[in-house]
A and B are shown apart, each in its own frame.
Chain A
Amino acid sequence: MEQTLHQKEIRRDNPVARKILHIVIYIVLTALALFTLIPFVWMLSSSLKLDREVFAYPMKWIPETIRWENYALIWQKVPLLTYFKNTAFIAIVVTFLQTLTSSFAAYAFAKLEFRGRDTLFLCYIATIAVPWQAYMLPQFIMMRSMGLYDTLWAMVVLQAFSAFGVFLMRQFYRSIPTELCEAARLDGLSEYGIWARIMLPLSKAAIATLVIFTFVSTWNDYMGPMIYLTRDANKTIQVGLRRFIQENSSDYHLIMAASLCSLLPVSIVFLCLQKYFIEGIATSGLKG
């Protein structure tokens, strides 16, 4: 009795309480968003300064003279366009291969019974746990022997089959009710059919997530390209950025400008895909 009363009270107050709650949420979010953006404002401001002004102390948020020419300079000082092209090539191919193969493999791990499944899966996770620095050398020697050293394909094969994607997709697939697969099997669908016609359409949100992560991490990878890519024609943006830091001088204003430029493509990918986070499987009316 008491509970229903209480509930009624809430219902009655709902519109106002809701509004206040929403306002509070927006205030909190906006404050957090501003906090998140501060470093980017600093990057933007630094990218419009002279190098020696970047570290001038106390810091100035608005440069004395705004040097837009820094954004032109970065393309002249290093072959940034080539770096962009290389990075885009690697990121796109890796993302495609990664998404395809790992959603395929994840289906086996999540929905099929076979011997050695758990051991194999632990194997996958275990390799994530070994820091790359530890097995970089054997890997490098091997890649050289395959003739992949200093080719963009080296980066592709290194990153396209990572255990991360399999793990991520497996976890998403596990939250899809097994009854669906069972029903499809009874309807005579093959496992491949289930994967293509049921799992894939239901995991749009997961795929969008994986695409974004793979794209971003490939785009921002530094150590891999640093070791494997040597010729200037093969370098990626992150490696190229370091060319602004030299033994006896540094151009942090240019690093900031180039970093902001390299943010753009990734942000576009994110913006294009993020609608899938709201249009996930919730709309398809599943039972729990």
Chain B
Amino acid sequence: MSRAEKKRTLIAYSFLAPNFLGFAIFTLVPVVCAIALSFFEWNGGDISRLKFVGFDNYATIFNVKKVSQNGLAYFFNRVDLGISLKNTIFYTLITVPLTIVCALALALLLNKIRGAVAYRTIFFFPYVASMVAICVCWSFMLMKDGPINQFIQAIGIPFNKSWTADSAMAIWAIILVSVWRNMGYYMVIYLAALQGVPRELLEAATVDGAGKWKQFIHVTLPQLRPTTFFVSIMMIISCFKIYDVVAIMTDGGPGRSTKMLVTYIYDEAFVKIRYGQASAISMILLVIVLVITIIQFRSEKKFSSD
């Protein structure tokens, strides 16, 4: 390393240090402990009870024995891990694009209009409200003869059951509440990012004769790329970690129809006190999210080096 390089690195570290120290002590160390724990059997209590079991925890949660006999269908229909993976992925696949589209649309609509302050505040409200109150309220609104069902019947859909007590609709209730709650949050991020789109670029595009739509596609959207990268990663992560809405609204039910990865982790760790297995499930979550992040990270780099 040259002297200049050394100095640069040192300066970089000095920028990182205040945050990194706190982060390393209070988050990184416990996370590393949790990773290690996934290879141990531990029901809590004394440390001497830690028993190294290699990949046994993973074999158990995947139910390798049964699955190898009965095939993958068995895994996704009968095994807790398979069911919660399936539910979590379905939930994420629907919620992420839906929220991003809603958030971006709201941000564009609200970017430069009069009275925007009031609207912005209203749309941000759901994110601010306390979770218990919101979930209780939504369960009520999604009841058999509740306002939402009345509305969808009015537009001709013959559905008349309480959403949270129906195994097909329960997950949609959770999606609905999530989108409703989070769209204001991501709208704010997009709003902030939209301020960063240089006006000159937009004006240049207008002079070139580009319509609003073209302007959006060719100027605004590429400018928002770092933000979209951030928003999509944060959304994917938070969707994979969905817990509180499920815990309050459906508790994973009916049956296992809304059982999610984190509800499963919670159950293993704090109800069944099998910390090793709970950690193993978390590792699966970690690997999935990490793979998605690295892919996105790569494509971000490619774009920015273009």
**A contact set with B: CB distance below 8 Å:** 3-4, 7, 22, 25-26, 28-29, 32-33, 36-40, 42-43, 46, 55, 57-59, 97, 100-102, 104-105, 107-109, 112-115, 117-118, 120, 122-131, 133-139, 142-143, 157-158, 160-168, 171-172, 174-176, 191, 195, 205-206, 208-209, 212-213, 216, 219-220, 222, 237-238, 241-242, 245, 252, 255-256, 259, 262-263, 266-267, 270-271, 274-282, 285-288
A34 to B286, CA, bound (A): 38
A44 to B89, CA, bound (A): 35
Contact B26 A274 (CB under 8 A): no
Additional pairs, 12, CB under 8 Å, beyond known A22-B113, A32-B106: A26-B115, A129-B285, A131-B285, A143-B26, A162-B23, A163-B23, A165-B19, A212-B188, A255-B136, A270-B124, A271-B121, A277-B191
Contact A130 B132 (CB under 8 A): no
Q: Which residues of A contact B131 (CB under 8 A)?
A: 220, 222, 238
Q: Which residues of B contact A113 (CB under 8 A)?
A: 8, 12
A176 to B196, CA, bound (A): 8
Determine whether B215 belongs to the interface, using a CB cutoff of 8 Å to chain A.
Answer: no
27 A-B contacts (beta carbon < 8 Å): A39-B129, A59-B146, A104-B19, A112-B11, A120-B16, A128-B237, A129-B289, A131-B261, A131-B265, A133-B282, A134-B281, A136-B269, A137-B44, A142-B30, A161-B23, A168-B230, A175-B227, A205-B191, A252-B136, A255-B132, A263-B125, A267-B125, A270-B128, A271-B117, A275-B117, A282-B196, A288-B201
Please give me the residue from chain B that is nearest to A25 by CB atom. B109
Partner pick for B189 among A43, A97, A126, A209, CB 8 A cutoff: A209
Contact A122 B297 (CB under 8 A): yes
Partner pick for B119 among A29, A43, A161, CB 8 A cutoff: A29
Partner pick for A114 among B8, B200, B229, CB 8 A cutoff: B8
Quick one: given A22-B113, A174-B226, are A262 and B12 in contact (CB under 8 Å)?
A: no
A219 to B193, CA, bound (A): 24
A274 to B126, CA, bound (A): 16
Partner pick for A134 among B23, B34, B189, B229, CB 8 A cutoff: B34
Contact B192 A105 (CB under 8 A): no
Q: Which residues of A contact B128 (CB under 8 A)?
A: 216, 219-220, 263, 266-267, 270
Whole-angstrom distance between the Cβ of A135 and the nearest chain B Cβ: 4
Contact B23 A124 (CB under 8 A): yes
Whole-angstrom distance between the Cβ of A102 and the nearest chain B Cβ: 6
Contact A137 B275 (CB under 8 A): yes
Q: Which residues of A contact B226 (CB under 8 A)?
A: 171-172, 174-175
B57-73 residues with Cβ-Cβ distance < 8 A to A are none
Contact A58 B193 (CB under 8 A): no
Determine whether B147 belongs to the interface, using a CB cutoff of 8 Å to chain A.
Answer: yes
Contact A138 B141 (CB under 8 A): no
